[in-house]
């Protein structure tokens, strides 16, 4: 009986966590596109990552939207994206911290 209750609680925590992560990443996208307050955008990304850690939620494809090192949400002004056809990967260079991220395609 207790295990069913625990499962429901864990499931509800994950649902609430997913909702909050979506809201925070949408706000981060909005503020990074306006370029009015990049620090607020970075804070939203940091909070979303912390919620994902706490609730044990995988970010999946949403990880490609921000820098892993400085929590900057990527837009056309703060990153450089290249496609490397020889190594069959996408290279994203963060212009704030200078780190590179690689994704296969």
Each residue of 21-75: pLDDT tens digit? 999 999 999 998 887 678 999 999 999 999 999 999 999 999 999 999 999 999 8
Mean pLDDT to the nearest integer, 1-17: 88
Domains identified in the chain, total number? 1
Report the alpha-carbon distance of residue 64 to residue 89 in Å, rounded.
Answer: 13
CATH code of 19's domain: 1.20.5.420
Q: Compute, in degrees rounded to 10, the torsion defined by CA atoms 53, 57, 58, 62.
A: -90
Could you list the residue range(s) of the whole structural domain that residue 31 is in?
2-104
pLDDT over 80 at 3, yes or no? yes
pLDDT of residue 1: 62
Q: Taking the model in full, what pTM does it have?
A: 0.88
């Amino acid at each position: 009986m207790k295990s069913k209750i625990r499962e429901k609680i864990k499931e509800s925590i994950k649902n609430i966590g997913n909702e909050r992560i979506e809201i925070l990443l949408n706000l981060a996208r909005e503020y990074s596109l306006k370029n009015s307050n990049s620090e607020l955008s970075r804070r939203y990304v940091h909070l979303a990552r912390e919620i994902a850690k706490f609730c044990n939620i995988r970010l999946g494809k949403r990880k490609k939207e921000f820098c892993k090192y400085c929590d900057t949400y990527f837009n056309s002004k703060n990153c450089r994206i290249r496609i490397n056809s020889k190594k069959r990967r996408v290279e994203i260079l963060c212009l704030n911290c200078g780190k590179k991220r690689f994704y296969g395609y």
